[in-house]
């Protein structure tokens, strides 16, 4: 993680699930069945705990006996305290953008927080740099690519997000204050894939660079 990113993105890591149209559509039938009553009408939130923090070129331990999936996401770093801000003013509270790899075990339910799936050590890589908000003309026009061992396995665009960056900030700040340094992970698209020890995982977002992580066997990631 670059010094600028480390200095500016040390707050709480807030994640948003089901924020891509394709992913939400895939789950519509499930949301019509118990224990759900209907599709979500508000952002589906989760938190990445401090132990999940990782960085560019960092190792990610593959949990023994589990499946591991990378999650490409646009990360928004808050630069000005946001409390009950309007959608029109929301981007004034952004310091900049970076890339996140929101690693997770496969999720089969959105009914309860997926702590065991999402909050393992090193499961949230950020980097490589913080790109100032002024250098990103439109956060809803960014191409996102996931590469495994150099091959593109997932591609999407932030234009397909259910809620824009500005709308997310407005809706979240309506009921909780976003502080300077907080990071908002704006969602991963449909089409997640499994990775294995020895794999190199890259995420590219247009204008933000490339974030690289290396998947290792459990014993390799420990001191």
pLDDT tens digits, one per residue of 125-181: 999 999 999 999 999 999 999 999 999 999 999 999 999 999 999 999 999 999 999
Contact 116, 107 (CB under 8 A): no
Q: In this structure, what is the dihedral angle of CA atoms 72, 78, 79, 85, given to the nearest 10 degrees?
A: 140
More confident residue, 11 or 29: 11
Confidence of residue 21 (pLDDT cuts 50, 70, 90): confident
- pLDDT mean over 56-78: 97
Confidence of residue 113 (pLDDT cuts 50, 70, 90): low
Please name the helix (run of DSSP H) or strand (run of DSSP E) that holds residue 5, with its range, or none.
helix 3-8
Tell me how far apart the alpha carbons of residues 223 and 218 are, in angstroms, rounded to a whole number. Answer: 11
Taking 90 as the threshold, does the pLDDT of residue 27 lie above it? no
Q: Is 18 exposed, middle or buried (0-12, 13-18, 19+ CB in 10 A)?
A: buried
Q: What pTM, to 2 d.p., does this model score? A: 0.91
**How high is the pLDDT of residue 42?**
76
**How high is the pLDDT of residue 28?**
63
More confident residue, 147 or 221: 147
**How high is the pLDDT of residue 152?**
98
Task: Output the CA torsion sign for 162, 160, 200, 128.
Answer: negative
More confident residue, 169 or 218: 169
- pLDDT mean over 38-42: 64
**How high is the pLDDT of residue 128?**
97
Q: Which residues span the domain enclosing 36?
A: 3-221
Tally of structural domains, the chain: 1
Q: What is the CATH number of the domain that holds 74?
A: 3.90.850.10
- pLDDT mean over 44-73: 96
H helix runs in 81-190, sequence order = 115-118, 165-173
45: Cβ contacts below 8 Å, ≥ 6 apart: 14, 15, 16, 17, 172
């Amino acid at each position: 993680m670059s010094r600028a990113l480390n200095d500016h993105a040390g707050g709480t890591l807030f994640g948003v699930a089901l924020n891509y149209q394709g992913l939400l559509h895939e789950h519509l039938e499930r949301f019509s069945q118990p224990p759900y009553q209907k599709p979500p009408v508000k952002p589906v939130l989760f938190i990445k705990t401090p132990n999940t923090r990782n960085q560019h070129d960092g190792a990610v331990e593959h949990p023994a006996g589990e499946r591991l999936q990378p999650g490409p996401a646009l990360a928004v770093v808050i630069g000005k305290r946001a409390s009950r801000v309007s959608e029109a003013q929301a981007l004034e509270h952004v310091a900049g953008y970076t890339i996140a790899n929101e690693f997770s075990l496969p999720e089969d339910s959105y009914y309860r927080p997926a702590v065991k799936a999402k909050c393992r050590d090193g499961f949230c890589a950020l980097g490589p740099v913080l790109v100032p908000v002024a250098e990103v003309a439109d956060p809803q026009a960014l191409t996102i690519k996931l590469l495994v061992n150099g091959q593109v396995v997932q591609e999407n665009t932030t234009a397909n997000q259910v809620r824009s960056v500005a709308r997310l900030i407005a809706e979240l700040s309506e009921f909780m204050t976003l502080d300077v340094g907080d990071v908002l992970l704006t969602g991963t698209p449909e089409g997640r894939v499994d990775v294995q020890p020895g794999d190199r995982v890259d995420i590219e977002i247009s204008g933000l660079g490339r974030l690289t992580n290396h998947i290792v066997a459990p014993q390799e990631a420990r001191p």
